[in-house]
């Protein structure tokens, strides 16, 4: 009987602080993924994530308006309204799910949403199927 | 044959998004049927109320005193001074006083009960991964004590050192500091304020600033009104003593306000300077950017060099989410066991449900298996 065990290792894509404290991940291609996925594809995923986070943290007219309005209401507005950041986080979650379904799962990889790791890392789990047990 | 399952991310759960501080207890502990929420296993020294909705530091410090002083002084003002002033001056006075009072109390409560920007601790796999990266370049001879771990990063043409936090097992992002009272790393750490009983960091700095500014106005306003009240009463040859006898509460208010207005005004002024320069109290005290090694070029790499932009970004910037998912559920032990990279894989593990995704918020995720080829 062949038993298939899923064995996983994890790769962590760390934050890139060269632009300050904004949420941005390093686009350097980890060596452990070389056999699994194309560099181009990986970089594209990370770059899209970085762009989405940049959109969440963007300082612009809209965010200032939200901030000023919140200040005038003694910030009680945060109790009822969803902030711009939270809306973008949902977009990000959807994007990651979509990427997992279309690109990463077929390659035996899994992306974990960085928000589940405190926005510290993008965790990529690598699955290897190993056949064990007697043939 | 198990199917590949993806955990549908519940949009509602993302309202307080998530990572888990992995519990340090062993995975083999059999949990009872009731799933624990993450706040119950939170490793820092915070306390939680309302099932994780409210977070405060371990010692509430002087918060009851702060609240008490504000409530008592304002209460006395409305009860004893306002009627006289409305009669003799204008009825705007209790209105203005009321608005200021509401702002003060709301911002105080928000400062105290909001997560200041706590960074969740690293999961065991992350910690192992970082350890690996650190130990590689250093000769691991047993007699050699490794130096404190730092990493250097160039931000805005300036070299910034990132320190490794031994408690949280992460390299701290820039401007993050570990609060020993709360035992957490806090982003953009300003200081731990005993008056509000919480750390002041990235997420609640704007509440804190609004609190001290509105409190300065409120204290100054009460001080001014009480002085006017006593002055009006002592007119007509009555004298101050007579006025005080008639309204003894005003004396108490006067004393409280006189002593607090200077310190609060001073604090507000100081923090206004910090906001305009995009600095934190921590950085200012340590002199992080002010030419500590005689380096003329060091300035604050995070400042936009524009007062208006600094103020806007600190006070009106987007509200970052809470990174600790207080109300999410702790995953069952099925999910927690995963092997860090580089560990020997072959013969030992035979369990099928070893691997899990990271815990998602709000749900206990089912075990995940990759598709069989």
CA B151 to chain centre: 25
- Kindly report, residue by residue over B108-119, the tens digit of the pLDDT: 999 998 899 999
- Mean pLDDT value across chain B: 77
Across the range A54-72, mean pLDDT stands at 84
Beta-bridge partners for B200: B191
Q: Which residues of A touch B324 (CB under 8 A)?
A: 118
At residue B227, does pLDDT exceed 80? yes
**pLDDT at residue B144 greater than cutoff 50:** yes
CA distances, B347 to each of B344, B350, B369 (Å): 8, 8, 19
- For chain B positions 333-352, those within 8 Å of chain A (CB to CB) are 338-343, 345-347, 349-352
Question: Does the distance separating the beta carbons of B173 and A21 come in below 8 Å?
Answer: yes
Q: Where are the domains of chain B?
A: 38-115+194-330, 120-172+333-361
3-class SS of residue B107: helix
Task: Give the pLDDT score at B208.
Answer: 94
Beta bridge partners of A127: A8
Interface of A with B in 11-30 (CB under 8 A): 11-12, 15, 17-21
CA distance B258 to A45: 59
Q: Which helix (H) or strand (E) holds B111?
A: helix B92-113
* Region at A20 (left for phi over 0; alpha for psi -120 to 50; beta for the rest): left
pLDDT of residue A135: 44
Report the pLDDT value the prediction gives residue B190, as an integer from 0 to 100. 93
User: How many CA atoms lie within 13 Å of B216's alpha carbon, on the beta-carbon side?
Assistant: 16
* Chain B CA closest to residue A63: B318
Contact indicator for B319, A77 with CB cutoff of 8 Å: no
What does chain B come to in residues?
373
Cα separation, A67 vs A83, in Å, equals 10
SS3 content of chain B, % helix, strand, coil (to 5): 40, 10, 50
Do B4 and A90 make contact, defined as CB atoms within 8 angstroms?
no
Q: Grade residue B236 by pLDDT with cuts at 50, 70 and 90.
A: confident
Q: Which residues of B does the annotation mark as catalytic?
A: 193
| Cβ of residue A87 closer than 8 Å to a chain B Cβ | no
A9, containing H or E segment: strand A3-14
**Residues within 8 A of A (CB atoms), B 140-159 only:** 153-156
Q: What residue has token string 């911002």?
A: B107
CA–CA dist B370, B344 (Å, integer): 20
Report the alpha-carbon distance of residue B15 to residue A89 in Å, rounded. Answer: 9
Please determine, for residue B167, whether its predicted confidence score (pLDDT) is greater than 60. yes
pLDDT band at B263 (very low <50, low <70, confident <90, very high): very high
Contact predicate B203/B117, CB 8 Å: yes
Q: Do residues B250 and B257 lie in contact, with contact meaning Cβ atoms separated by under 8 Å? A: no
Residues 17-76 of B with CB under 8 A from A: 17-20
Sheet of strand B150-155: strand arrangement: B150-155, B158-165, B170-171
Residue A97 pLDDT class (50, 70, 90 cuts): very high
User: Phi, psi at residue B213, to the nearest 5°?
Assistant: -70, -45
- Nearest chain B Cα distance for residue A67, angstroms: 4
Q: What is the pTM of this model?
A: 0.79
Residue A125, beta-bridge partner list: A10, A110
When mean pLDDT is compared over A51-60, B225-234, B267-276, B324-333, the highest value belongs to B267-276
Q: What is the pLDDT of residues B334-359, one digit of tens each?
A: 544 444 443 333 444 444 444 444 44
User: Does B170 contact chain A (CB < 8 Å)?
Assistant: yes
User: Structure tokens of A90?
Assistant: 């949902």
What pLDDT is stored for residue A77 in this prediction? 80
A92 interfaces chain B, CB cutoff of 8 Å = no
Per-residue confidence (pLDDT) for residue B337, from 0 to 100: 44
Q: Does A123 touch chain B (CB under 8 A)?
A: yes
pLDDT tens for residues A5-36? 466 788 899 999 888 888 999 998 888 888 88
Considering only CB atoms, which chain A residues are within 8 Å of B354? 5-8
Complex ipTM tops 0.90: no
């Amino acid at each position: 009987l062949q038993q298939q065990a899923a064995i996983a290792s994890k790769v962590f894509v760390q934050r890139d602080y060269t632009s300050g404290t904004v949420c941005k991940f390093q686009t350097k291609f980890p060596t452990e993924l070389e056999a699994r996925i194309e560099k181009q594809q990986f970089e594209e995923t990370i770059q899209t994530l970085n762009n989405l986070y940049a959109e969440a943290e963007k300082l612009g007219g809209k965010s200032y308006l939200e901030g000023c309005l919140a200040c005038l209401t003694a910030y009680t507005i945060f109790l009822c309204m969803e902030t711009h950041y939270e809306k973008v986080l949902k977009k990000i979650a959807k994007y990651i799910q979509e990427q997992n379904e279309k690109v990463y799962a077929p390659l035996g990889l899994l992306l974990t949403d960085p928000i589940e790791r405190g926005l510290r890392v993008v965790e990529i789990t690598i699955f290897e199927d190993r056949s064990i047990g007697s043939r | 044959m198990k199917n590949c399952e993806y955990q549908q991310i519940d949009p509602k759960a993302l309202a307080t998004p998530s990572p888990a501080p992995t519990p340090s207890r062993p995975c083999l502990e059999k949990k009872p049927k009731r799933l624990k929420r993450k706040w119950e296993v939170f490793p820092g020294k915070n306390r939680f109320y309302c099932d994780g909705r409210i977070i405060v530091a371990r010692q509430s410090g002087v918060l009851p005193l702060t609240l008490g002083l504000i409530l008592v002084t304002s209460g006395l003002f409305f009860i004893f001074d306002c009627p006289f002033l409305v009669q003799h001056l204008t009825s705007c006075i209790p209105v203005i006083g009321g608005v200021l009072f509401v702002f003060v109390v709301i911002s105080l409560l928000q400062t105290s009960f909001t997560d200041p920007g706590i960074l969740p601790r690293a999961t065991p796999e992350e910690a192992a991964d970082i350890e690996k990266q650190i130990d590689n370049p250093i000769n691991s001879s047993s007699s050699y004590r490794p130096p404190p771990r730092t990493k250097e990063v160039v931000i805005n043409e300036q070299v910034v050192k990132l320190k490794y936090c031994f408690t949280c097992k992460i390299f701290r992002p820039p401007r993050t500091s570990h609060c020993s009272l709360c035992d957490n790393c806090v982003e953009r750490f300003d200081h731990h304020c005993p008056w509000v009983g919480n750390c002041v960091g990235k997420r609640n700095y704007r509440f804190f600033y609004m609190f001290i500014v509105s409190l300065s106005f409120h204290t100054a306003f009460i001080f001014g009104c009480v002085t006017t009240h006593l002055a009006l009463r002592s007119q007509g040859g009555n004298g101050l003593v007579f006025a005080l006898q008639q309204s003894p509460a005003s004396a108490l208010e006067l004393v409280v306000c006189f002593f607090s207005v200077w310190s609060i005004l001073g604090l507000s002024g100081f923090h206004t300077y910090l906001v305009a320069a995009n600095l934190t109290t921590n950085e200012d005290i340590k002199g992080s950017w002010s030419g500590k090694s005689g380096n003329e070029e060091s300035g604050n790499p995070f400042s936009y060099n524009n007062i208006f932009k600094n103020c806007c970004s600190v006070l009106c910037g987007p509200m970052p989410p809470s990174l600790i998912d207080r109300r999410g559920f702790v995953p069952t032990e099925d999910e927690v066991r995963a092997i860090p990279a580089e560990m020997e894989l072959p013969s030992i593990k035979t369990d099928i449900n070893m691997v899990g995704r990271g815990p998602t918020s709000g749900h206990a995720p089912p075990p995940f298996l990759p598709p069989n080829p």
